[in-house]
Each structure stands twice: as structure tokens, then as C-alpha cells.
Amino acid sequence: MAKLVGVFAASHGPMIAREWDTLSPPTRMLVTQGFERVGQRLTMSRPDVLIIVSPDHWCNFFLNNFPAFCVGIGEEHDGPPEPFLKTRFNHPVLAGHPKFGRHILDTALESDFDPSLSHRLTLDHGFCLPLWRMGIDPIPPIVPIVINEVDEPMPTMRRCLAWGSMLKQAIESYPEDLRVAVLATGGLSHFIGEPGMGQIDETFDRTCIALFENGDPGKLASTLEHDVRHTGNGGHEVRNWVVAHAAAGHQGFELISYAPLEEIYVGCAFAQWRVA
């Protein structure tokens, strides 16, 4: 039987890769320490497969075809298309895990979800930048899960909790021995292409952190459903963290580090959930 061996979260942001060589030493240090600590913990969990939950930044989908959830079930997925990351993360192709991906898809359908599927996704900076900075080597096979967090309408926080619980069920019901880790990427607060671009909503970030530490799914869903509409558009990526929270069984998390880093436009946070 498959086993959930770790659930983690890490922020991402294009500036981390695009401006890495010119970032200030304090910012580089905080970012490096956060990613390295998550990477060490993820490596120590020895996963056979890694579920990565992230948005798609207009690389696979556009307004003519925009699923709320998409599961990557292919044998391979393409590496990052962004020039600023291609030269730093030299993985033009990443291995998938089609059998386990298909099991997740089937479990979702049996749980009354109607997700999209892809036999070959392009994994942009949301998926690949954390892998680059964490220094994961070798990278285990990946089952990428895309959640719409860039344009309305988006799945509710309650629906994201349900999706995370479905992932937990899919892992526990997979009939083969498999060590599975989950990585949620993105967030916390950031403003992209908005008048407040570059600002950090530290109040929103601290609220998120307190809710995830507490573990109460009902309070988490209702509070974030309200608060996410009153912060920067990048805050919608907290949905990935909500999915991870439910996949870990709502048991709360340990904040590894947090810093409001205006230089990279992100309330930059790293965490690990408690799992049974």
C-alpha cells in the first residue's frame, strides 16, 4: 500500500530566478535557507513519487480552456518554458508517474469531482523553481496537479479542502508500495500586475500561518474565502496550501520560515505539515 511520507509548502516567484544574481545578500540568504530546509526534509522523506500542486501561469491553459483542476497523468512532462529559469534548471523533461496519476484521476471521478487530465503538461516556474532552489537530486517522478488560481471563477476554499481529502484517500487506497510526498507551491501574498505590485500583505500572511498551524478546516475555509478577496491577486495561490492541509489530514503544520520580501514581490513562506 502507498504511504504519505511528507507534506510541504514553498513559495515561488519569477524574481527569485530572473533576478537571482542581483538580489541583496539578506534576501538571497532568507530564500536559500528556506528552500534548503524544505529540500532537506523532503529528501529525508525518501519519496518514490512527488505530487506537486501549483497554478498554471498561462503556459498550458488560457481563457478558451481553463479547468479548475487538472491532473498530469503522462509518462513525461516538459520542463520550464521561461527563459529566466531554463538556464538555471536544466531539466527539459521530467518523469511522470502515469499509473499513480491515473489512480488519482480515477479516485477524483469516483469522488464526484470532474477534473481535466493531461498526458503531457508544461511545468512552469510554479513547479520547477522550488525544485531548483531545493536542490532535489535526483528528482522523483512527478504527478503535477494544476489548480486555477489566476482568473475567476476559482474553486472555493471548501472545494480545495475536499480535493486535498480526496488526495489523501487516493494515496491510502493505492495498492502498491509507494512512498508519496506532496509539495504545495505559491503564495503567500503578492500583487502582480496590480497597482500595489511589489507590496506584501503581512496581515493576510500571518492570518494564513495561524490558520494552518491551528488545523481547524472549517475556520480555515471560511476565513480565507473572505480574506483572499481583499489582498493581492497572488494570494489566491494559498489554495495549494489548503489542498496540502487536507491531504495531511488537517493536523496543522510547522512554519519553517516566513519573511515579507518586497524585493521578490512575495510574502515568502516555507512549511511542513504533521502527518500520521
Catalytic residue among 12, 103, 125, 236: 125
The DSSP output letter for 199 is -
Strand, helix or coil for residue 202:
helix
- Tell me if residue 125 is catalytic: yes
196 vs 41: CA distance, rounded Å = 34
The CB density around residue 154, as the number of other CB atoms within 10 Å, is 18
- Tell me if residue 190 is catalytic: yes
261 and 33 in contact (C-beta within 8 Å)? no
- Single-letter code of the amino acid located at 111: S
211 and 220 in contact (C-beta within 8 Å)? yes
Residue (of 55, 50, 54) closest to 182 by Cα position: 50
Q: What are phi and psi of 245, to 5 degrees?
A: -60, -45
By the 10 Å C-beta count (0-12 exposed, 13-18 middle, 19+ buried), 193 is classed as exposed
Catalytic residue among 12, 57, 77, 190: 190
The DSSP output letter for 88 is T
Return the half-sphere exposure (C-beta side, CA atoms, 13 A cut-off) of residue 25: 0
Q: Nine-digit cell at 105?
A: 484521476
User: Cα Rg for the chain, rounded, in angstroms?
Assistant: 17
Start-to-end C-alpha separation, the chain:
15
Residues known to be catalytic: 125, 190
